[in-house]
Amino acid sequence: SKRFNSWKCKRIMSSIIEFAKKTLINNRRSNYTLPTNTKLYPAQWNWDSAFIALGYSNFNLDYSFKEIETLISGQWDDGMIPHILFHIKDLNYTPNYKAWNCGRKISSSGITQPPILASILRIIIERKKFSKEEIKKYQTLILKIKKYLEWFIRYRDPKRTGLISILHPWESGYDNSPLWDKPMSKIKIESKLKYKRKDNKIVEKSQRPLKIDYDRYVTIKNHLRRLNYDPKKLYYKSKFNVVDVGFNSLFLKALKDLDFLLKFIGKSSSSLKKYILLNESKLIKLFNSKKMKFKNKDLKNDTSIEIPSITNFFMLFSDLKNKSVNKNLIKSLKKYCKNENYLFPSINSRHKSFEEKRYWRGPVWINCNWIIYQGLKNKDKSFAEMIRKKTINLVEKKKFREYYSCKSGLGMGAKNFSWSAALYLDFVLNRS
């Protein structure tokens, strides 16, 4: 009967694999993929797209590269790849392409998102073991990613402090995280603000950000638009300017992966290599190994932020050279998720800001699990394997939802969520 059970398990798993592929294909439009088919996000999102491309690479390499090429086709002349590309003029999203009014060839938002694309491209290329001839095809993509990462250094760290700023909570991807509560509370909401939310009509209100959050998101966005999204001005003038541990960790890893990709096409950049060292040494200082606490810097208000967020542990993903820091990070992560039924809550459930069901204030997100898993697999194999298995189990039980309760496993937010399907595929089909 043991053999029968394992046969049954495999059958179930292979049908879920098919369902994951179908979910991606159903969400696919012309050469790019929506984050979900529920009307919640009717456009191409930057980091969603990178995760989706990784998912495709497990069964359709052509779709994978189309996804990446379409995302990069939205790159601005200055190098930024926007956080949203509005390929269809859909007015059902707020703020829509008119509200952003970016004045570019492809309508887009005027801000960016974590540049996980560099890391995803490296994984795809490494796994496929391309020949020298095939490698040439990727040269242009790699050089455009280089321009993107250099844009961050030039405009998001103009004083070369070694740390990159984000200028809107949406740039982090973890929009309403308690990480931003303090800097957001300082933002005076624009008078006569006019916008109409659609998101909380599609997904239950209690699972989405609050009105006061949206008032501030739109206020910051309008201000950036009035500055014509001029990257030289935004760093100094935005109403929000934060150095975030999670974002910088993803950025550092992106730089390291770009360095690898450049080597791959027979190129290198000494200024990038220098910035990698600088960024790594500054990033480590944001983690206090003794107190096991992380510190974000609110540059706008010259103060610090200490919130126990899973995104702080993205530091494991950046593959720091310092072994003792890594050891302490792992110890701290084990404490972070002790007693949790489902991993990982986006905010430590013992913290006062934790909310079980509200978007980035507590729920489990599959992309966070994937990032942490990637960071752990070469440092603590058994812990990494436990996360892989728990994530697979959760998704198999509750299907491809946008996020899940860490207490009950309840699936929440959008259904048929692309990155949950894509990363499920990646978890199941790849052990490394």
Spell 217-230 as b/e; 16+ CB within 10 A means b: bbbbbbbbbeeebe
**Residues ≥6 apart with Cβ < 8 Å to 309:** 174, 177, 178, 179, 246, 294, 346, 347, 348
**Residues ≥6 apart with Cβ < 8 Å to 28:** 34, 63
Subset of 52-111 contacting ligand DGY (CB under 6 A): 83
DSSP state of 311: G
Subset of 192-211 contacting ligand DGY (CB under 6 A): 199
Which residue, 199 or 426, is less far from ligand DGY as judged by CB? 199
Tell me which residue has its CB nearest to ligand DGY: 170
Torsion of CA 90, 94, 96, 100, to 10 degrees: -170
Q: Is 402 marked active-site? A: yes
Q: Residue count at the site for ligand DGY (CB under 6 A)?
A: 4
Measured at the alpha carbon of residue 213, what is the angle toward residues 207 and 216, in degrees to the nearest 5?
155
**Residues ≥6 apart with Cβ < 8 Å to 138:** 121, 125, 130, 261, 264, 265
Binding mask 121-160 for ligand DGY (x = CB under 6 A): ----------------------------------------
Nearest residue to 364 via CA among 166, 174, 168:
174
Which residue, 170 or 344, is less far from ligand DGY as judged by CB? 170
Q: Please state the closest distance from residue 360 (CB atom) to ligand DGY, in A.
A: 9
Which residue, 152 or 174, is less far from ligand DGY as judged by CB? 174
Residue with tokens 């993903």: 317
Q: Please state the closest distance from residue 171 (CB atom) to ligand DGY, in A.
A: 9
Q: Please state the closest distance from residue 307 (CB atom) to ligand DGY, in A.
A: 19
Coil/strand/helix, residue 298: strand
Subset of 156-175 contacting ligand DGY (CB under 6 A): 170, 175
Annotated catalytic residue within 175, 244, 298, 380: 175
Q: Are the C-beta atoms of residues 377 and 432 closer than 8 Å to each other?
A: yes
Which residue, 175 or 244, is less far from ligand DGY as judged by CB? 175
Nearest residue to 246 via CA among 351, 115, 342, 340:
115
Annotated catalytic residue within 244, 259, 402, 426: 402
Q: Please state the closest distance from residue 312 (CB atom) to ligand DGY, in A.
A: 20
Q: Please state the closest distance from residue 214 (CB atom) to ligand DGY, in A.
A: 9
Which residue, 170 or 342, is less far from ligand DGY as judged by CB? 170
Which residues are annotated as catalytic?
175, 402
- Residues lying near ligand DGY in the complex (CB under 6 A) are found at 83, 170, 175, 199
